[in-house]
């Protein structure tokens, strides 16, 4: 559904982009029927994270052709967490949807995710059938096992980019590098109700992953320690005033 000029949309999709010039036109063609099928208005915010392959030119063309498309351009690559944060700041909707631009997430799962937040504060995707390389699937299983042991993370798929959150949830996420890997446990610890929704996963069509397995493992360990520290020291919500 389109939104009237001057009226804020109900839903904001935030999509980080780094060197996805080939994927972007396909992603937009997949998104258009999904947006048309929603019973609320929506905008799509693409955050160009310092791309060098012409992604920004593609995004300019999409924005010129459709008022629902907005773009945020980061002059240098700052990482996924910074790109998300920039998109959150630009978002006007009360409900925020996130997903990657690499076509591995099927946008047709967005309506089911939106339906899930009618009874919860946030929904996170669970890619039950992964279409990654065997090495990447093994690394993911190991990482999830470590997450459960270190921070008690009960969620199955911390790395799925498809998430739906209320604006209050977004405001509760600490703006630190690596935040995007721990959305569900951070929100749960803040008192929000988070549910998992099974979503489709597709093989990568263009390019290759932006993260090496060893590099991601090292970063994940450091981030886990930071998250464990934050969870242990989070202030409890004060009791309600009953006077």
* Other CB atoms within 10 Å distance of the CB of residue 27: 22
pLDDT tens for each residue of 5-47 = 667 999 999 999 999 999 999 999 999 999 999 999 999 999 9
Predicted confidence at residue 172, as pLDDT, reads 92
Tokens found for residue 81 = 């967490």
**DSSP per-residue codes, 25-88:** HHHHHHHHHHHHH-SS-EEEEEEEES-SSSHHHHHHHHHHH-TTEEEEEESS---HHHHHHHHH
pLDDT tens for each residue of 156-204 = 888 899 999 999 999 999 888 888 888 999 999 889 999 999 999 998 8
More confident residue, 239 or 116: 116
Residue 209 to residue 198: CA distance in whole angstroms: 22
| For residue 147, pLDDT beyond 70 | no
| For residue 239, pLDDT beyond 70 | no
Burial environment of residue 86 by CB neighbours within 10 A (0 to 12, 13 to 18, 19 or more): buried
Domain that holds residue 43: 11-132+155-206
> Three-state SS across 156-180?
CCCCCCCEEEEHHHHHHCCCCCCHH
Tokens found for residue 241 = 């005033």
| For residue 93, pLDDT beyond 50 | yes
More confident residue, 147 or 45: 45
Q: Is residue 223 part of a domain?
A: no
Instruction: Please state the domain count of the chain.
Output: 1
Which CATH number is 120's domain given? 3.90.550.10
- Phi–psi pair at 208, nearest 5 degrees: -145, 165
Predicted confidence at residue 243, as pLDDT, reads 44
- Phi–psi pair at 138, nearest 5 degrees: -65, -45
Contact by Cβ (8 Å): 225, 181: no
Sheet holding 42-49, edge to edge: 69-74, 42-49, 11-17, 95-98, 163-166, 122-127, 194-199
| For residue 78, pLDDT beyond 70 | yes
pLDDT tens for each residue of 51-74 = 999 999 999 999 999 999 999 999
pLDDT tens for each residue of 97-127 = 999 999 999 999 999 999 999 999 999 999 9
| For residue 95, pLDDT beyond 90 | yes
Q: Is residue 25 part of a domain?
A: yes
- Tell me the pTM: 0.84
Q: Is residue 68 part of a domain?
A: yes
């Amino acid at each position: 559904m389109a939104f009237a000029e001057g009226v804020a949309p109900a839903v904001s999709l935030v999509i980080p982009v780094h060197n996805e010039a080939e994927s972007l036109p396909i992603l937009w063609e997949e998104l258009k029927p999904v947006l048309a099928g929603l019973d609320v208005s929506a905008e799509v915010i693409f955050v160009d994270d310092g791309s060098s392959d012409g992604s920004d030119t593609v995004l300019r063309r999409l924005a010129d052709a459709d008022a629902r498309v907005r773009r945020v351009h980061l002059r240098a690559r700052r990482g996924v967490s910074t790109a998300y944060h920039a998109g959150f700041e630009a978002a006007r909707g009360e409900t925020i949807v996130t997903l990657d631009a690499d076509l591995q997430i099927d946008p047709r799962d967005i309506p089911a995710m939106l339906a899930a937040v009618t009874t919860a504060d946030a929904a996170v995707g669970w890619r039950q059938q992964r279409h990654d390389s065997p090495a990447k699937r093994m690394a993911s299983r190991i990482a999830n096992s470590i997450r459960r042991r270190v921070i008690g993370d009960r969620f199955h798929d911390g790395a799925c980019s498809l998430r739906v959150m209320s604006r209050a949830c977004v405001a509760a996420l600490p703006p630190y590098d690596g935040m995007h890997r721990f959305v569900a446990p951070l929100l749960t610890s803040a008192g929000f109700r988070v549910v998992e929704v099974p979503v489709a996963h597709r093989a990568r069509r263009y390019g290759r992953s932006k993260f090496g397995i060893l590099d991601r493992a090292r970063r994940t360990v450091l981030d886990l320690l930071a998250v464990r520290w934050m969870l242990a020291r989070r202030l409890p919500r004060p009791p309600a005033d009953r006077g």
